[in-house]
Structure 1
Amino acid sequence: MSKVVLITGASSGIGKAIAVYLQNKNYTVYGTSRNPEKVIKSPFSLVALDVTKPETIQAAINTIIDKEKKIDILINNAGKGITGAIEDTPTQEIKTNFETNFFGAIEVIKGVLPQMRKQNSGLIINITSIASYMGLPFRGIYSASKSALAIVSETLSMEVKEFGIKVTTIAPGDFATNIAAGRYHTPVFETSAYKQKYAENLALMDAHVNSGMNPVKMAEKVYQIINTKKPRIHYKVGGFTEKFSIVLKRILPDKWYEKLLMNHYKL
């Protein structure tokens, strides 16, 4: 029997690329979307799920289990971007971002764990971000939400190991997706102390996404991990500079690394 894969946020971008790739590798793929009826001719099954609404999570999981009798792999991909200076970003928007990127992912994990324990097997892959390894100017909330998910994944790996369940994360760098269009951008307030620098960096952030890697690279990494007997807890997929920045953070004094980032972002 083919393995059953549940992928959140699979209507576009990285989630869709992973879903199509695994479908072509003969996995039984269920992607999720808040509005699956709006997706035209999806090559894989789409179920309605909003990670901020627990009742839709359980309904989607129940639908899959009723039909397939199992869920072998969960890929927590649903996420939202957010930009802005910490001082300027509305607190409600900060909470909303964490509801999707952190709490939403945990709710889906809680939803599949009973079935995976029953099977005595399962793989949970949480999609984080290379941004989770560092506090980036004007992206601090996004970095924090993904960093929180990465740390929880480390804890979860230890807690569920006895049940035959594996947990890993993949931290992507900049990929050519529509994430920039779906981000919450804190407005460039005329009275803001950060007006000029933030406006300049908004253009830089969008340029990075537009020139990013092909999402298929993420799909290939997911496939590799699925077929690894003992996967590591953390993986990174990105360009040389992105991955090297993590190495530098590990070896450089904090103030030196901060200076490198500030020079890069022209602060």
Structure 2
Amino acid sequence: MVTGASSGIGRTTALLFAERGARVFGTSRRERPDEGGVRMLRLDVRSDESVRECVDEVLAQADGIDILINNAGVMLEGFAEETAPDEARAVFETNFFGAVRLVDAVLPGMRERRRGRIVNVGSLAAWIGEPGEGFYAASKAALARYTESLRHEVWHLGIKVCLVEPGVFATEVLDAATAAGAAIADYDGPRESARATLHGALRRGEDPRKAAQVVWKAATARAPRGRYGAGGQSFVVPRLRTLAPQRLVDIALRRAYGLPRR
């Protein structure tokens, strides 16, 4: 079962699994036709009822869910002060609590069978609070720590949990992105610079199939690691964040986003 399978990494992942012989159920917030052997179902991960109904529909058609891939996610563009609490909560409802809802829905069946695999798709943004993406980064950081805890909690039950953190891939994530509603003039210049940097990076992003192949590896490895990076930046960013002095990280980030150094 792959959430957020209508486009980007989710769609590519679902199609890859189907190509390799898996029976795949993909989900989307809107009605989507089946594609390439992927049975598409409607699901709003923000809704407890929608999650229950969707999982029940899958279980009515299959003996159980062997692999859950939590990929559904949204992006919010805007600086922190410009973002209302309700806007920030909406990001967490999809990126974090959406994954939690799906995990809670599939774990009973996995516990009963004493086997299963859960792959949560995070982001390298969890490692560095990039300007203009603060609440997106925060939601992915929360997902990373939740995944780590869950991994240890269900290990003895034969259920394996891991995290895949993609870097920048060419997807349609910005097509569905929302903007913070309260623009503040003092942030106009830095915000536009940060936005241009993000949009430029996504236009030059890597092929989503590379990320899908990493998800496949995480979902099928006999002894999966706790974390898998995906993309050219996945090796550099965590090491930069953990090994480089904070001052150098600050300088590099501000330079990359064209922000004032003051």
Q: TM-score range by the shorter chain?
A: over 0.9
Report the alpha carbon displacement of residue 95 of structure 1 after superposing the two structures with TM: 0.6
Paired position in structure 1 for 2:28: 33
Paired position in structure 1 for 2:103: 109
**Partner of residue 20 from structure 1, selected from 7, 15, 23:** 15
Confirm or deny that 1:198 pairs with 2:191. Answer: yes
CA distance in 2, matches of 1:156, 1:135: 24
Residue 202 of structure 1 aligns with an amino acid whose one-letter code is: R
CA contact (8 A) 1:188 1:198 kept: no
Confirm or deny that 1:259 pairs with 2:234. Answer: no
Residue by residue over 1:201-220, the C-alpha shift from the partner in whole angstroms, topping out at 9 and shown as x without a partner, is: 21221111111011111111
**Partner of residue 250 from structure 1, selected from 221, 242, 259:** 242
Q: How does 1:126-145 map to 2 (within 5 A)?
A: 126-145=120-139
Paired position in structure 2 for 1:80: 74
Residue 9 of structure 1 aligns with an amino acid whose one-letter code is: G
Paired position in structure 1 for 2:92: 98
- Percent identical pairs in the alignment equals 34
**Partner of residue 8 from structure 1, selected from 3, 9, 17:** 3
Match of 1:157, SS state, is helix
CA contact (8 A) 2:5 2:26 kept: yes
**Partner of residue 208 from structure 1, selected from 195, 201, 207:** 201
CA distance in 2, matches of 1:107, 1:152: 13
Confirm or deny that 1:233 pairs with 2:233. Answer: no
Residue 228 of structure 2 aligns with an amino acid whose one-letter code is: Y
Residue 201 of structure 2 aligns with an amino acid whose one-letter code is: H
Confirm or deny that 1:148 pairs with 2:147. Answer: no
- Structure 1, unaligned runs of 5 or more: 1-5
Report the alpha carbon displacement of residue 243 of structure 1 after superposing the two structures with TM: 3.1
CA contact (8 A) 1:188 1:195 kept: no
CA distance in 1, matches of 2:104, 2:241: 33
Q: How does 1:149-188 map to 2 (within 5 A)?
A: 149-186=143-180
CA distance in 1, matches of 2:174, 2:239: 26
TM-score (norm 1): 0.93
CA distance in 2, matches of 1:63, 1:45: 11
Report the alpha carbon displacement of residue 223 of structure 1 after superposing the two structures with TM: 1.8
CA contact (8 A) 1:130 1:243 kept: no
CA distance in 2, matches of 1:40, 1:28: 16
